[in-house]
Chain A
Amino acid sequence: MILEGAIIYSNLLVLLALGLTLTYITTNVPNFAQGSYAIVGSYVALTLLRLFDISPYLSLPVLFIIGAVVGLITYLALKPLIKRGASVEILMIATLAIDLILLGAIGAYSEILSAIVGSTQAKFVFANLDFTVLGFKGILFVSTFVIILLLIGLYLLLYKTKFGIALRASMENPSLAQTMGIDVEKTRLFSWILSGALAGVAGGLLPFMQEIVPATGGLIIISIFAASIVGGLRHISGALIGGYVIGISESLITYYLASVFGTGFLVYGKVISLIIMIVTLLIAPYGITGTDWKKVKKLLSGA
């Protein structure tokens, strides 16, 4: 039962961490607004449910598109700064500003929606809408299916198309790719659109897991960064590995500690992911995928 929750949570973290890693690799921007992207998706799903009675699962394609638009807008907002060669700190502050704008927009929107529907919509969950298969929550299958679909899609895109090769080239070495005639601008645009779209989908699924409030995005950003950093911010596969490492350990360790010290411990899940992140940074600053494992092996056997 607890493992089920851990896997669902990890699936969603992978979606979010993948977006974060993608934009970090292509544009060098650690995006603090990634969490709020998801919450935009959550509220759009809520709107479709309340106003048009559309199940959140069916609204996923809409969330994909809306998320893509949010990602695109963010990139357009950052573009003048990137063009000017602004420092990483300045770009980070810019994404913090975008996060704040999104937070304000989400908060305002939640109250507008409350007025339309006639009851408060500031806090909500979808858990009661979920179906069950063989005693497992539907979200487990849906989120896993989304991940598999995404991985197949990414594989086909990156390894079977010309654009994918260009994309990989510009991730590996943007300046060399540019001299080879690859339009780095296009790959950046693509990564931001995909990043937003994935976050939008994650946002539609998140309310099946936990309660959503406008500020939720600001909170889950810790886990997203933890997942990306633990996996290694420089590789796409890092987000996948990191997402599962953080997601599963956050759920399981918190659950274990709660069973030892009482249920009051359940609220400290974020602290666990933070600790894992810090330990990773101290031991392997470039994360799991950024570490040269052959060297580690040699070192271990040598010692």
Chain B
Amino acid sequence: MIIELISLILLWFGIYYIVSLSLNMEFGYAGIPNFGKALSVLVGAIAVGGILDRLLMLYFGIGGGLIEGSTYATSMINDVIASNPIVGIGILILAIILASILGFVVGAIFILPSAKLKEDYLGVTLLAISEAVVLVCTYNLNIIGGYYGISTPDVLAFVSGEYRGWVFTGMVLFIAFLVYLFFERLLNTPFGRVLRAMRENEDTVKAFGRDIMKLRIKTMAIGSAIGAIAGALYSLYTVNIVANAFTRVEWTFFPFLMVLLGGKGNNKGVALGVLCYVIVKVLLDVYKYDLKYTLNIPFEPVWLSYMLFGVLMLLILYYKPSGLIPEKPIITAPMKKKIIEISNK
């Protein structure tokens, strides 16, 4: 039981860490209040359910509707994967590539209507676009099966059931680590420093001849591409996509909670924030019915968890606005040299 719990915690840690890292770049570094983070995760699901499934249907020559068609197609590809692991890995890589390309494009378009606006208008617009897209995907059964949902290929069909969770978790953690390295490198370049400068004072950045709009578009494109990878991994893990799983609470609000809890502008801090949140989330998820009956709560514990996390968010804003591990100043190579020189004197 404990072992399974750890696997589940690590899996969610991996997925949420990827989402939070991308949000941290957008919000923590660049100061873009992306209240539409859920959209980028949904885009990952669209890449898997809407594109990859259709490609598989085309490959196997299955006609008809997406919902039934993808069930046939995924069970056929699962049989192939079961005997040939390389196909599974190939499909995983294909899904990630598709998700990041689609995420990149959608992210760049997503911010266009609001790229020139002030923070408050910007946040409202991003939230509204994201909500509207989730709504369309929920009611339109032709995109990713809407509220009926569709199945996705099991890229680990060759692994026996009892180990699947562990192998998938390992895979997700590995990808999360790669994403972490990517962001650490990216944000330590002049690009990362311009983002921080933009967060602190847009006008100064503008005065130095940088185009704020271009910077925002770039940031959101990269952020959405990474967020979409998390969405694709989540869809491949659950082997099924239901559009209304991509709610504002689950994929926008909670990532904000994690980033602020860990410390915005600090990728290591965010890891701590994600871990704290995920442990509470998984324990609440697993023990919710025990909790319900022992405490005799007359309603579903999920509502209680909403209230709890909402209060927690307010408490963070009141007492720990810079998070558990505050942002550290950037130290570039020449600065390091200077510091060593000074300390040697």
Chain A interface (Cβ < 8 Å from any Cβ of B): 28, 30, 32, 77, 80-81, 86-90, 92-94, 96-101, 103-105, 107-112, 115, 218-219, 222, 225-226, 229, 264, 267-268, 270-271, 274, 277-278, 281-282, 285
CA distance A294 to B256 in the complex (A): 43
Choose one: B31, B125, B304, B314; the contact of A89 (CB below 8 Å).
Answer: B31
Q: Are A92 and B33 in contact (CB under 8 A)?
A: yes
The minimal Cβ–Cβ distance linking A95 to chain B, given in whole angstroms, is 10
Q: Are B298 and A112 in contact (CB under 8 A)?
A: yes
Determine the chain B residues whose CB is within 8 A of the CB of A92 once the complex forms: 33, 35, 120, 123
Choose one: A28, A80, A107, A109; the contact of B306 (CB below 8 Å).
Answer: A107
> Hey, what's the 0/1 contact readout for B91-135 against A, CB within 8 Å counting as 1?
000000000000000000000011011111101110111011001
Given A86-B321, A98-B310, A108 and B299 contact (CB-CB distance below 8 Å): yes
Determine the chain A residues whose CB is within 8 A of the CB of B253 once the complex forms: 96-97, 100
Determine the chain A residues whose CB is within 8 A of the CB of B311 once the complex forms: 97, 101
Given A94-B317, A96-B256, A111-B299, A105 and B27 contact (CB-CB distance below 8 Å): no
Q: Are A80 and B249 in contact (CB under 8 A)?
A: no
Given A90-B317, A226-B128, A268-B136, A108 and B120 contact (CB-CB distance below 8 Å): no
In the complex, chain B residues 299-325 whose Cβ is within 8 Å of any chain A Cβ: 299-300, 302-311, 313-314, 317-318, 321
B233 at the interface (CB under 8 A from A): no
CA distance A244 to B294 in the complex (A): 50
Q: Are B120 and A222 in contact (CB under 8 A)?
A: no
B139 at the interface (CB under 8 A from A): yes
Determine the chain A residues whose CB is within 8 A of the CB of B116 once the complex forms: 285
B260 at the interface (CB under 8 A from A): yes
Choose one: A97, A219, A274; the contact of B317 (CB below 8 Å).
Answer: A97
Name A285's closest neighbour in chain B (CB-CB): B117
B248 at the interface (CB under 8 A from A): yes
Choose one: A80, A96, A104, A268; the contact of B318 (CB below 8 Å).
Answer: A80
Q: Are B135 and A271 in contact (CB under 8 A)?
A: yes
Determine the chain A residues whose CB is within 8 A of the CB of B303 once the complex forms: 103-105, 107-108, 111
If A93-B260, A111-B298 are given as contacts, then 17 extra A-B residue pairs at C-beta distance below 8 Å, sorted by A number, are A81-B317, A86-B317, A88-B119, A96-B256, A96-B313, A100-B249, A103-B249, A104-B303, A104-B310, A107-B300, A109-B299, A112-B299, A219-B131, A268-B136, A274-B129, A281-B121, A285-B116
Q: Are A229 and B124 in contact (CB under 8 A)?
A: yes
Determine the chain B residues whose CB is within 8 A of the CB of A277 once the complex forms: 125, 128
Q: Are B317 and A30 in contact (CB under 8 A)?
A: no
Chain B interface (Cβ < 8 Å from any Cβ of A): 27, 31, 33, 35, 113-114, 116-121, 123-125, 127-129, 131-132, 135-136, 139, 248-249, 253, 256, 260, 298-300, 302-311, 313-314, 317-318, 321
CA distance A108 to B307 in the complex (A): 10
Name A226's closest neighbour in chain B (CB-CB): B128
Determine the chain B residues whose CB is within 8 A of the CB of A271 once the complex forms: 132, 135-136
Q: Are B313 and A225 in contact (CB under 8 A)?
A: no
22 contacts between A and B (CB under 8 A): A81-B317, A81-B318, A88-B118, A90-B321, A92-B33, A96-B253, A101-B306, A101-B307, A104-B303, A104-B306, A105-B303, A105-B307, A111-B299, A112-B298, A115-B298, A219-B131, A267-B139, A268-B136, A268-B139, A274-B129, A274-B132, A281-B125
Determine the chain A residues whose CB is within 8 A of the CB of B114 once the complex forms: 278, 281
Of listed A99, A264, A281, residue having the most chain B CB within 10 A: A281
Q: Are A93 and B135 in contact (CB under 8 A)?
A: no
Determine the chain B residues whose CB is within 8 A of the CB of A96 once the complex forms: 35, 253, 256, 313
The minimal Cβ–Cβ distance linking A291 to chain B, given in whole angstroms, is 15
Q: Are A30 and B123 in contact (CB under 8 A)?
A: yes
Determine the chain A residues whose CB is within 8 A of the CB of B305 once the complex forms: 104
Choose one: B118, B132, B306, B307; the contact of A270 (CB below 8 Å).
Answer: B132
The minimal Cβ–Cβ distance linking A86 to chain B, given in whole angstroms, is 7
The minimal Cβ–Cβ distance linking B144 to chain A, given in whole angstroms, is 16
Q: Are B135 and A77 in contact (CB under 8 A)?
A: no
Name A264's closest neighbour in chain B (CB-CB): B139
CA distance A107 to B314 in the complex (A): 20
Which 6 residue pairs spanning A and B have beta carbons closest together?
A104-B306, A101-B310, A104-B307, A111-B299, A100-B310, A97-B313
Q: Are B119 and A100 in contact (CB under 8 A)?
A: no
Determine the chain A residues whose CB is within 8 A of the CB of B121 once the complex forms: 229, 281, 285
Q: Are B119 and A97 in contact (CB under 8 A)?
A: no
CA distance A77 to B318 in the complex (A): 10
The minimal Cβ–Cβ distance linking B303 to chain A, given in whole angstroms, is 4
Determine the chain A residues whose CB is within 8 A of the CB of B304 once the complex forms: 104, 108
Determine the chain B residues whose CB is within 8 A of the CB of A270 once the complex forms: 131-132, 135
Of listed B31, B118, B299, residue having the most chain A CB within 10 A: B299
